[in-house]
Structure 1
């Protein structure tokens, strides 16, 4: 925790959390400040991470964050239907469909008719797509390491365990039903 800024002009993106918690609890004293700080910090840190990865690794390759996510799923999970790519990437089917149009145009993804259902489309990486995602992920992981290096190995292990505990909580399971 840092000292509360004297004016909103002293705030930055991540520093806004402290200010927001203080101001909110002044007006709404029944708000749980710890839960609020946790939610805001996780959200803002995630946004900062994604912005960093997208701006330093993926945009220079002509990809959006969503495009990277589609390629990443296809790289690791192999050919699959678009609806399954949507599930594994946490995106809507419409978003995946729009992204695949661009990735197919760029020669990174191909579509074929699924054998089990003539209406279904199977997505897969092309050879160029495989080369592109493995190269991109190497650079992506370098940025992941830069962020992770702020913590000791034991701190990383504890944080991963805590995040996994949140990800498997009853609230997370309720949220997963919405996908």
Structure 2
């Protein structure tokens, strides 16, 4: 493939071939996989933000926090960070606008009065109930190019990566 035929979609293949020339012995398949996963992740994030969340004057990141609280109930900021895959500082930064919008409240934990729990307000619940169907419709549009078997296989493979020793090491570093 020549550089004049490069596009966003085929860059992972081009990079793999180029890396093989520049760094003999490197793992081109691992490089291709990580470039492809990263690109799909960025496109998903952009699409979710642009199509669903920015029109609601919110963000994909804020929605992720609201979504885990909606499903898991009141959580400490640390637990919200773990379940969203975000850092504690990201949760802290997202919390300010969520509190200001009236979507989340902080309340003292019954077990440890020093610890704060994040809970959805009725407005936060209403927001998630309104936005989730649009979010899920967009998720379905992304997934529609795969068969049911391919979707299940991809989920299984991604979960295998999420449960790998390296993923656990990285999660530990983030704590």
Q: TM-score, normalised by structure 2?
A: 0.93
Q: Are the counterparts in 2 of residues 82 and 122 from structure 1 also a CA contact under 8 Å?
A: yes
Q: Does 1:170 align with 2:161?
A: no
Task: Say which of 61, 72, 85 aligns to 1:90.
Answer: 85
Where does 1:29-178 land on structure 2 (aligned, <5 Å)?
Answer: 29-178=24-173
Separation (CA, whole Å) in 2 of partners of 1:58 and 1:116: 35
Q: Are the counterparts in 2 of residues 107 and 128 from structure 1 also a CA contact under 8 Å?
A: yes
SS in 2 for 1:123: strand
4+ residue stretches of structure 1 with deviation over 6 A? none
Backbone CA RMSD of aligned residues = 1.4
Separation (CA, whole Å) in 1 of partners of 2:55 and 2:35: 29
Q: Are the counterparts in 2 of residues 14 and 45 from structure 1 also a CA contact under 8 Å?
A: no
Separation (CA, whole Å) in 2 of partners of 1:127 and 1:11: 49
- Listed as ranges, the gaps of 5+ residues in structure 1 are none
Q: CA deviation at 1:119?
A: 2.2
- Listed as ranges, the gaps of 5+ residues in structure 2 are none
Q: TM-score, normalised by structure 1?
A: 0.91
Separation (CA, whole Å) in 2 of partners of 1:41 and 1:118: 45
